[in-house]
Amino acid sequence: MRLSRYFLPILREVPKEAEIVSHRLMLRAGMIRQESAGIYAWLPLGKRVLDKICNVIREEQNRSGAIEIMMPTIQSADLWRESGRYDDYGKEMLRIKDRHEREMLFGPTNEEMLTEIVRAYVKSYKDLPLNLYHIQWKFRDEVRPRFGVMRSREFLMKDAYSVDLDFENAVIAYNRMFVAYLRTFARLGLKAIPMVADTGPIGGNHSHEFIILASTGESEVFCHADYLDMAPPPADIDFRDPAALQDTVNQWTSLYAATEEKHDEAAFDAIPEGSRVSARGIEVGHIFYFGTKYSEPMGAKVTGPDGVERPVHMGSYGIGPSRLVAAIIEASHDENGIIWPEAIAPFKVGVLNLKAGDAATDAACETLYAELTARGVDVLYDDTDERPGSKFATADLIGLPWQVIVGPKGLAAGTVELKRRADGSRETLPLDAVINRILE
């Protein structure tokens, strides 16, 4: 992408309305635009990051055996009356009437709709296990939308729903998602800690919130420090092997970790003092086994091997990709701007032409741009006539992991400068060596 042809509305001023650093940086980097309270348009740079996050999530969901679908945003009130949640949900639900006065709603989640699909098509234990997910916009009329896309009213959610014959199989499905989540967050460069969460009337211990530590987080959390050094499960973990999954889950639930609501002072105090972490955290994902809560009232039943019909056991598994964009920035930035992990950077490389219009720098930049692009690398080529200082500031603000700085002085000696955003390190390299260095 040539910056001169791109749409990157950078703000030089620090926006006053933004209270936390991720919100400020997303506005300054031209990633989002507020359209009304808690409702945002995603501008090109933001959209790129959001898409990359969704793709990592998608790859790990697919690897675990979940299957992607797409359900609508608008749902019928009648569907929600079947589960009894239409009245329970309260003011967070945006209720709409169509031209025929039919009551509709903008979905805050999709348990009812997924259960309806299962009820229509899934009849036998032989059709199970099943896990269907989608990545779709949700609307919740939050009392206090704030912190930009961290707590917005319209937000993107990956929500998966598992369907199984009985509790034992539902636990295997739960563990698959647990492991997939550990891998997903690790690939996004995050240390997300699974913390026991409330199960309400369902009971049991199959509800975990995945939390990353950040001073601006909304929840107070307590955990063992060793979580911060645990290695995520490998890419080749066998999702069809229940024992391997259970081992991983056991390892990740063996140490203390809880949010304020589930905090147990005595258990926390039992941790050696030097290993106690008491901090603030951001919830980036939530997995939950809810058994027959929807399948029973809605009549989603399958015939078991014994010929007896019974309601299916289900769970739901959410991740907020739009919140994640902000959460990743909270976890990875400095005074100059965002520091994207490579896996989700909007562009992996910035090529900075320090003297656009100069025949030598133009030619060198064009070559780098063409060759990197040909190798499948996302490049933002700053071909504008801004001053060098402003180009450096922009590249750092928007967090490009690799920056190739091409100036007339260096080129005269046949070299360019390669800067790494993560640690600010710089190397001077011959022009033809820089591509291999980036691809290493």
Q: Which does 320 bind (CB under 5 to 8 A by kind): ligand ATP, Mg ion, none?
A: ligand ATP
134, 140, 206, 208: which one contacts ligand ATP (CB under 6 A)?
A: 140
Distances from the Cα of 227 to the Cα of 107, 168, 175, 198, 312, angstroms: 35, 27, 18, 21, 34
Distance CA 325, CA 7 (A): 19
Compute the least distance from the CB of residue 187 to Mg ion, in Å.
22
Stretch that binds Mg ion, among 54-62, 180-188, 280-288, 401-409 (CB under 5 A): 280-288
Q: How far is the CB of 318 from Mg ion (least distance, A)?
A: 7
Across-strand partners of 420?
Answer: 402
Compare residues 151 and 333 and give the one whose CB is closer to Mg ion.
Answer: 151
Tell me: does residue 401 bind ligand ATP (CB under 6 A): no
231 CB neighbour count, 10 Å cutoff: 8
Site stretch for ligand ATP (CB under 6 A), options 60-68, 319-327, 372-380, 420-428? 319-327
Which region among 125-133, 150-158, 164-172, 398-406 touches ligand ATP (by CB under 6 A)?
A: 150-158
Interface with ligand ATP includes 320 (CB under 6 A)?
yes
Q: Is 217 in the site for ligand ATP (CB under 6 A)?
A: no
Measure the CA–CA gap between 101 and 86, rounded to whole angstroms. 17
Q: Which is nearer to Mg ion, 195 or 418 (CB)?
A: 195
Tell me whether residue 284 or residue 438 sits nearer to Mg ion (CB atom): 284
By CB under 6 A, the residues from 350 to 389 that bind ligand ATP are: none
224 binds Mg ion (CB under 5 A): no
Closer Cβ to ligand ATP, 15 or 108, answer by number: 108
Separation CA 312–CA 318 (nearest Å): 20
CB 332 within 8 Å of CB 189: yes
Among the residue ranges 111-119, 312-320, 328-336, 419-427, the one whose residues contact ligand ATP (CB under 6 A): 312-320
Residue 155 binds ligand ATP (CB under 6 A)? yes
DSSP string, 230-284: PPPPPTT--TT-HHHHHHHHHHHHSS-EEEGGG--HHHHHTS-GGGEEEEEEEEE
Query: Is 188 within 8 Å of 344 (Cβ atoms)?
Result: yes
In the complex, the smallest distance separating the C-beta of residue 292 from Mg ion, rounded to whole angstroms, is: 21
8 A C-beta contact, residue 152 and residue 322: yes
407 in helix, strand or coil?
Answer: coil
Please say which residue, 162 or 322, places its beta carbon nearer to ligand ATP: 322
Is 352 buried (19+), middle (13-18) or exposed (0-12) by CB count in 10 A? buried
Query: From the CB of 286, what's the least distance to Mg ion, in Å?
Result: 4
Task: With beta carbons less than 8 A apart as the criterion, state whether 177 and 60 touch.
Answer: no
323 binds ligand ATP (CB under 6 A): yes
233 makes contact, choosing from ligand ATP, Mg ion, none, with CB < 5 to 8 Å by partner type, with none
52 binds ligand ATP (CB under 6 A): no
Is the separation of the CB atoms in 48 and 31 below 8 Å? no
Q: Is 361 helix (H, G, I), strand (E, B) or coil?
A: helix
CB of residue 172 vs ligand ATP: minimum separation in angstroms? 21
Contact call for residues 27 and 149 (beta carbons, < 8 A): no
Q: Which is nearer to ligand ATP, 212 or 416 (CB)?
A: 212
Residue whose C-beta lies closest to Mg ion: 286
Strands 426-430 and 415-420: antiparallel
Whether the CA torsion 60, 66, 67, 70 is positive or negative: it is negative
Nearer to ligand ATP, 131 or 322 (CB): 322
119, 286, 391, 419: residue in contact with Mg ion (rule CB under 5 A): 286
Residue type, 161: Y
Q: Under the rule (CB under 5 A), what is the footprint of Mg ion?
A: 286
Q: Under the rule (CB under 6 A), what is the footprint of ligand ATP?
A: 140, 142, 151-152, 155, 157, 283-286, 318-320, 322-323
